[in-house]
């Protein structure tokens, strides 16, 4: 508990984004969520351009530079949105491939941003890896650049044809959500796929918080559990955005939701606190356009998703706790699922598994392996139910995990059938695998993006320094004269300060007698 509180205090001293200010998550636009397909491209401006493109899960980005007063731009918008519908938003047929965005150059705050990309006509389309847009620009005189203009995308058909040519793909304007299973990457045997789950963990965290607020589940008998779970997230959530957002809420929690029931009702009615005020906070920040699952995406619309993301969240928390926190993390996790997971049957089954634990955990290893065992127990139970009712995901059937392909060293007997009800596990190897899988590998995509971003920043800084050095050439004689003058001025300034100090303290006031 002490290390959790220490981490909370450390994080609460960081610069946290004010809840009353700009903390509105950059998810799918409300109009798009309501079915209006005209708002699926993400609107960017100079304040969020770098952060969104740096943190998007997409492999590529298309940025449209336009002016709202331009008739051609207004006519082109429906064409651009037809393509955006395929890649952006909760109903995207192919999420995580391309971020479709736009910048209004007629907005005064975006003038310098548009100049950096040499925008000379509207609309102008640019293509490239998202992180290459961050802190960068484009110049037609540059021969080698990862950012390229799209010169043949004036209709939705032509733009999609251009994309298919670049990617060797066969995307179609008629593609529907989960309609093309051959495009869905299976993550059964590829360790690296878990890296994409960091976005799903953020999505699951945000969704869980939204559900809690929507159903007004914060009550006097549940608030302590929520506080403990958020403390766990502040210390061990794999996403820095979620750690900061959780800390931001915790710092203000007592004001937003007082523990006294009478005071709570009074504040909620008079000051708008309680669930409504908590809704102003974004627990995982605003940087990433969300609204779809990546690692946890099922081959059917109603499979995987949130439940998968929640499991990944719990596993990622478990591998980060320390030995002294293991029992607290266990009880906090059990209470959180029991009180806040809205599927009643699921939460009860989970709590029953918790109740069977009779000995307190003394190490993080015990907690990690218990959660892994519990997850496999749930998979076995659901596998039978889904098989009898036909409700499972055919591409991701429930199974004992990890598979031999994913972790061959986890199996003591390599000839043993994976479907066996009693597998001889090498628990040390399983523990090692879980730590790497939900630890370093899970956040590797973040680290890769940060590394690429830092390289771009360093390159830009070096270029700026070089330009400033070349622009200022001072003769040697003049340089010496400047240096001598600087020294003389410094000596004079020191003399003047000493004189002022002497004047200030020449007449010292009498010391007050301490009684």
- Give the tens place of pLDDT for each residue, 381-411: 998 888 888 888 888 888 889 988 899 999 9
Band of pLDDT at residue 514, cut at 50, 70 and 90: very low
Higher pLDDT, 308 or 276: 308
Q: What does the pLDDT average to over 20-41?
A: 45
Higher pLDDT, 169 or 515: 169
Distance from chain centroid for Cα 377: 30
- Cis previous bond, 209, omega within 30: no
Give the single-character DSSP code of 425: B
Which alpha helices (H) appear in 319-363, and where do they start and end? 326-340, 344-355
Q: What does the pLDDT average to over 276-294?
A: 70
- Determine whether 70 is an active site residue: yes
Does 485 score more than 70 pLDDT?
no
Tell me how far CA of residue 312 lies from CA of 149, 184, 296, 385, in angstroms.
39, 19, 9, 22
Can you give the pLDDT at residue 472?
38
Selecting among 73, 105, 114, 242, the annotated active-site residue is: 73
Which alpha helices (H) appear in 343-443, and where do they start and end? 344-355, 364-389, 427-435
- Determine whether 114 is an active site residue: no
Q: Are strands 60-66 and 42-44 parallel, antiparallel or unpaired?
A: unpaired
Can you give the pLDDT at residue 469?
42
Can you give the pLDDT at residue 193?
85
How far apart are alpha carbons 447 and 335 in whole angstroms? 32
3-state secondary structure of 479: helix
Can you give the pLDDT at residue 495?
53
For the stretch 113-130, pLDDT in tens is 999 999 989 999 999 999
Task: Number of helices (H) and strands (E) in the chain: give both, helices first.
Answer: 19, 5
* φ/ψ (deg, to 5) at 461: -65, -40
Closest to 132 measured CA to CA, from 240, 49, 43: 49
73 within 8 A of 66, measured Cβ to Cβ: yes
Instruction: Match 């809420």 to its residue by tokens.
Output: 249
Can you give the pLDDT at residue 272?
45
Give the single-character DSSP code of 292: S
User: Could you give all domains of the chain from N- to C-terminal order, each with its CATH number?
Assistant: 42-167 (3.40.30.10), 193-256+281-415+424-438 (1.20.120.310)
């Amino acid at each position: 508990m002490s290390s959790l509180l220490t981490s909370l205090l450390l994080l609460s001293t960081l610069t946290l984004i004010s809840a009353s200010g700009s903390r509105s998550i950059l998810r799918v636009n409300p109009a798009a969520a309501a079915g209006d397909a005209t708002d699926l491209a993400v609107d960017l401006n100079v304040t969020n351009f770098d952060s969104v493109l740096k943190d998007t899960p997409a492999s590529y980005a298309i940025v449209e530079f336009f002016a709202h007063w331009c008739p051609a731009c207004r006519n082109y918008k429906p064409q651009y949105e037809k393509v955006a519908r395929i890649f952006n938003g909760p109903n995207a047929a192919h999420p995580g491939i391309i971020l479709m965005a736009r910048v209004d150059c007629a907005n005064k705050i975006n003038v310098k941003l548009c100049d950096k990309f040499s925008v000379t006509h509207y609309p102008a389309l640019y293509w490239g890896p998202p992180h290459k847009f961050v802190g960068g620009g484009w110049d037609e005189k540059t021969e080698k650049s990862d950012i390229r203009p799209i010169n043949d995308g004036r209709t939705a058909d032509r733009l999609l044809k251009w994309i298919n040519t670049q990617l060797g793909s066969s995307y179609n304007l008629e593609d529907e959500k989960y309609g093309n299973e051959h495009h869905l990457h299976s993550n059964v045997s590829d360790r690296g796929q878990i890296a994409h789950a960091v976005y799903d963990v953020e999505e699951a965290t945000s969704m869980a918080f939204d559900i809690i607020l929507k159903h007004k589940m914060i009550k006097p008998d549940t608030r302590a559990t929520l506080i403990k779970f958020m403390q766990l997230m502040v210390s061990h959530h794999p996403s820095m955005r979620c750690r900061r957002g959780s800390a931001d809420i915790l710092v203000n929690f007592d004001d937003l939701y007082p523990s006294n029931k009478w005071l709570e009702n009074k504040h909620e009615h008079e000051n708008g606190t309680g669930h409504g005020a908590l809704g102003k906070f974004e627990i995982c920040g605003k940087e990433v356009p969300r609204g779809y699952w990546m690692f946890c995406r099922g081959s059917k619309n109603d499979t995987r998703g949130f439940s998968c993301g929640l499991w990944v969240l719990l596993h990622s928390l478990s591998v980060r706790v320390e030995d002294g926190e293991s029992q607290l993390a266990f009880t906090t996790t059990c209470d959180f699922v029991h009180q806040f997971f809205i599927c009643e049957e699921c939460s009860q089954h989970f709590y029953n598994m918790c109740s069977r634990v009779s000995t307190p955990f003394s190490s993080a290893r015990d907690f990690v392996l218990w959660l892994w065992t519990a997850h496999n127990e749930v998979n076995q139970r659901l596998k039978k139910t889904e098989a009898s009712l036909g409700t499972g995901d055919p591409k991701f059937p429930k199974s004992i995990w990890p598979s031999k392909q994913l972790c061959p060293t986890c199996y003591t007997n390599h000839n043993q059938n994976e479907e066996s009800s009693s597998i001889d596990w090498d628990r040390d190897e399983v523990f090692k695998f879980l730590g790497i899988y939900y630890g370093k590998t899970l956040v590797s995509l973040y680290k890769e993006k940060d590394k690429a971003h830092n390289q771009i920043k360093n390159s830009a800084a070096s270029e700026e320094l070089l330009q400033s050095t070349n622009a200022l050439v001072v003769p040697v004689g003049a340089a010496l004269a400047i240096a001598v003058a600087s020294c003389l001025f410094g000596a004079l300034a020191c003399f003047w300060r000493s004189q002022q100090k002497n004047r200030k303290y020449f007449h010292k006031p009498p010391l007050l007698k301490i009684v």
